[in-house]
């Protein structure tokens, strides 16, 4: 929506963050099986994150809007691998725990933020935060893992609580209006 307000040299970073938010709370599989279906023959080293069609389309659309369509597979794969590697450090029985998921996602977030460094414009972190809130709202609500990531991003960029709250309120209003519009169209 406001991707064009993000400076061109910060867009790839934004896309990596978008991938992180898209994958951070998605179901995890071991050798194609969920936790309840693991057997002694399951290859536990084959950890994967389920990527739904909705997430794939969102990431593709963001890459197109940023003018970085050729980077879709690279960014998605890179971020998925980072999350998976963090989750592999945990005992298998804890990987599904939202707190562990949030820790893994936050660890990846810190890596991405350290790689990027500071933004050149003071409006860039606010624009990116707003876009990340919209991404987190894509399925109608913000998960605990996504909320933790959003708050961590806010803290890292020294954004006041009232800014976060205002951006969240506006993103929720936009999300509601889009949902109402789609409902009217689909009737």
Residue 33 β-bridge partners: 30
How many domains is the chain partitioned into structurally?
Answer: 1
Q: Write the pLDDT tens digit of every residue in 115-159.
A: 998 888 889 999 999 999 999 998 889 999 999 999 999 999 999
Count of other CB atoms within 10 angstroms of residue 144: 12
Q: How far apart are CA 79 and CA 22, in angstroms?
A: 10
What residue ranges in the chain does DSSP mark as E strands? 28-30, 47-49
Q: Under a CB-based contact definition with an 8 Å cutoff, are residues 95 and 28 in contact?
A: yes
If we measure between CA atoms, which residue out of 148, 62, 53, 134 comes closest to residue 105? 148
If we measure between CA atoms, which residue out of 4, 174, 28 comes closest to residue 101? 28
Show the domain range for 82. 3-186
pLDDT in tens, the chain (187 residues): 688 889 989 999 999 999 999 999 898 898 888 888 888 888 888 888 988 888 889 889 999 988 887 888 888 899 999 999 999 999 888 888 889 999 999 999 999 999 998 888 889 999 999 999 999 998 889 999 999 999 999 999 999 999 999 999 999 999 999 888 988 998 8
Half-sphere exposure of 175 (CA within 13 A, CB side): 19
70-88: b (≥16 Cβ within 10 Å) or e: ebbeebbeebbebbbebbe
CA 66 to chain centre: 16
Q: How far apart are CA 23 and CA 79, in angstroms?
A: 8
């Amino acid at each position: 929506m406001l991707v064009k307000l993000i400076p061109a040299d910060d867009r790839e970073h934004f896309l990596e963050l978008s991938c992180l938010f898209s994958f951070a709370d998605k179901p995890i599989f071991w050798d194609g099986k969920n936790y309840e279906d693991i057997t002694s023959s399951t290859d536990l080293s084959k950890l994967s994150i389920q990527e739904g069609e909705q997430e794939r389309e969102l990431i593709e659309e963001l890459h197109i809007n940023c003018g970085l369509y050729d980077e879709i597979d690279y960014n998605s794969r890179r971020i998925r691998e980072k999350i998976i590697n963090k989750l592999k450090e945990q005992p298998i029985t804890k990987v599904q725990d939202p707190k562990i998921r949030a820790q893994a996602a936050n660890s990846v977030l810190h890596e991405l933020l350290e790689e990027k460094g500071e933004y050149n414009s003071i409006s860039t972190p606010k624009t990116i935060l707003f876009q990340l809130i919209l991404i987190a709202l894509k399925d109608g609500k913000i998960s605990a893992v996504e909320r933790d990531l959003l708050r961590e991003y806010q803290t890292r960029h020294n954004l006041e609580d009232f800014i976060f709250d205002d951006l969240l309120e506006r993103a929720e209003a936009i999300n509601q209006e889009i949902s109402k519009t789609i409902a009217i169209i689909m009737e």
